[in-house]
Amino acid sequence: MGRWRAAASLFFNHMTRRPSSNPSLANSFHIPLSSHPSLRLLSPRSFSAIPSRVLVYTNDSDYGSLDLCQNHGLVLREEEKTSKIPIKAYFLCTSIDLKRLQAENLSNIVPPTSRSSNYIALRYYDFPPEITALGVKENASSCRYMVVYQYGSAVLFNIEEDEVESYLEVVRKYASGLLPEMRKDDYTVKEQPSLVKDMQGGPDYIVLKTLDTDSIRIIASVLGQSIALDYFVSQVDGMVEEFAGINRAMEKTGTFTMDRTKLIQLVGKANSNLADVILKVGLFDRSEIAWRDAKYALIYEYLREEYEVTQRFGNLDFKLKFVEHNIRFLQEVIQNRRSDLLEWCIIFLLSVENIIAIYEIFHDSTGASF
């Protein structure tokens, strides 16, 4: 019995060594002992190459207290009841070439379940797919996922903080319009198979019975939109502050110094921000996954309410209307300035014409007198 334990421990100690989790190392793997009942019975130990005595246990009391083993198993079962999957959402650029990203990372692409083309999901295994032949069940919590959106968001699942940069570097290779400072948000999914309902909300986390790939897509869509909305709100806030400064200066001096070109640039910026939020980010596009299954619709609506997506867009729209009102007013002022200038030019030309006419009359009258 003891020899079997030692040999099995040596085998599984070798199998559970976990190499670097860099996404480029697609063949790295790790077998979580909690993921398979038959593996939880074995406690891997480190072994030396130097020969040593192998203890033979004639009964369970020689190996250790049966109560201790049972208590240890109870602790493991308690830990297995709820597993935490960290989520990190980033907005790092204004556009990502999804076609090139997909073409060059085909081995990691998760097959789509909807017709949406503004994102792709990538999966990185902690163990090679062949290991499932040993009976290890593949589930979302045992893999790492990255959902990348065309408008510039990337949402990472089950990836530790010190590993994030290597995954983001993959995205940056296909990004354009990189931001000088990317935006970040954190969230957590708790997987609890014993949960009675399909989901349960909490402060900065959501509890699910199981985390599958469609759940990952739904959660990533809301977090990706939310972090992108933060960026666009900050852009509009900058324009609001600029117009607030112009209005304060006008209050003091009665005039303003902005030229027409600068004003047109602000018009273009305001319109492009609104178009990006509605069209590229797809803030009001219906989720096909949520539409097909009420379970995902519940998660989708809960997260949108949790992140106040609709209310924040309402605030953004209000600020854009303020910007639009100021732009219209300043355009009228600039147009009036141009009208005044043209009137003065016409007056000047008429004055010159009158002077020339008077001179000719005077010149003709003096010539006739001689």
Task: Supply the DSSP symbol for 44.
Answer: -
Q: Which of the two residues, 40 and 176, has the higher pLDDT score?
A: 176
Query: Given this model, what pLDDT does residue 222 score?
Result: 95
What is the per-residue pLDDT across 99-127, written as a single tens digit (0 to 9) for each? 999 999 999 999 988 888 889 999 998 65
Query: Whole-angstrom distance between the N-terminal and C-terminal Cα of the chain?
Result: 143
For residue 83, what are the β-bridge partners?
A: 191
Burial (CB < 10 A; 0-12, 13-18, 19+), residue 310, is: exposed
Query: Given this model, what pLDDT does residue 304 score?
Result: 94
**Residue 222 near residue 309, CB atoms below 8 Å:** yes
Structure tokens at 36: 């398979």
Query: Given this model, what pLDDT does residue 300 score?
Result: 94
Q: Which of the two residues, 325 and 131, has the higher pLDDT score?
A: 325
Distance (Å, whole) CA 279 – CA 291: 20
What is the per-residue pLDDT across 291-319, written as a single tens digit (0 to 9) for each? 889 999 999 999 999 999 999 999 998 99
Instruction: Please report which confidence band the pLDDT of residue 54 belongs to, taking 50, 70 and 90 as the band edges.
Output: very low
Examine the pLDDT at 13 and tell me if it is beyond 60: no
- How large is the average pLDDT for residues 272-278? 85
Which residue type is seen at 231? Y
Sort strands 183-191 and 205-208 into parallel, antiparallel or unpaired. parallel
Q: Which of the two residues, 260 and 34, has the higher pLDDT score?
A: 260
Examine the pLDDT at 245 and tell me if it is beyond 90: no
Query: Which of 6-15, 153-162, 198-207 tops mean pLDDT?
Result: 153-162
Q: Which of the two residues, 160 and 55, has the higher pLDDT score?
A: 160
Query: Given this model, what pLDDT does residue 53 score?
Result: 37
What is the per-residue pLDDT across 133-149, written as a single tens digit (0 to 9) for each? 444 445 666 789 999 99
Closest CA to 16 of 127, 125, 123: 127
What is the per-residue pLDDT across 318-369, written as a single tens digit (0 to 9) for each? 998 888 888 888 877 777 767 777 778 888 888 888 888 888 888 777 766 6
What is the average pLDDT value for the chain, to the nearest integer?
77
Which helix H or strand E contains 119, and what residues bound it?
strand 119-125
What dihedral do alpha carbons 360, 365, 369, 370 form, nearest 10°? 0
